[in-house]
Amino acid sequence: MHFFNDPFQSDSLIEGVRIRKLQVNKDNRGDLVETLKASWEDFYDADTLPFAQCYFSRTHAGIARDEDKWHIHSHQIDRFAVIDGDIVLGMYDNRIDSPTNGTLNLLRMGESNNDGGQYATMIPIGVLHGFVTGLDKTAILTNFPTQLWDPSDEGRVAFDDIGARMPNGELFSWDLVREELRKA
């Protein structure tokens, strides 16, 4: 897919986004993957404390949780990992004072990356984000946010109000992401 960023090339990531490669441990019983540990200083440090809760969402194939809106938090940092299936995580930096203002990251997360390509992503406060699942199956996304769920911190901003653009110059939409997934 030509417009999905390589999550391990830090020069292409939005300022403050953190990526952590996850170790997939396999044996004849199945898989074990640690998704958050207090000893991971890059994901659990003074800036990203506390661990407040864990939840997972199951989203059907080809579905975006919000079809035409970004999510945004003013207090909460999200830490996403895909447990089953695939998603494309979209993040857009609309923060005025950020050196990566105007940057769109589209990161493919999940089982299609195979065992060596599993990772968790930390989304900084103020970065617009959302996801669409892969086209073939339901995806399970887990989140380890730094705050307890607070409906007043669950912001939504319409795509049309932001004007994020894909690398080819088209206005961002999940339909364009789905088109790229169909080509893959």
Give the pTM: 0.93
pLDDT in tens, 81-135: 999 999 999 999 999 999 999 999 999 999 999 988 899 999 999 999 999 999 9
The token pair at 164 is 């994020």
In three-state secondary structure terms, 97 is coil
Residue type at 12 in one-letter notation: S
Q: According to CATH, what is the number of the domain 10-183? A: 2.60.120.10
Helix (H) or strand (E) holding 180: helix 174-183
Helix (H) or strand (E) holding 71: strand 69-72
| CA separation, residue 124 to residues 58, 139, 142, 146 (Å) | 23, 23, 16, 11
pLDDT in tens, 119-129: 999 999 999 99
pLDDT in tens, 138-164: 999 999 999 999 999 999 999 999 999
* 67-98 burial code (b ≥16 CB/10 A, e <16): eebbbbbeebbbbbbbeebbbbbbbbbbbeeb
Give the number of other Cβ atoms within 10 Å of residue 111's Cβ: 17
Q: How confident is the model at residue 47 (pLDDT cuts 50, 70, 90)?
A: confident
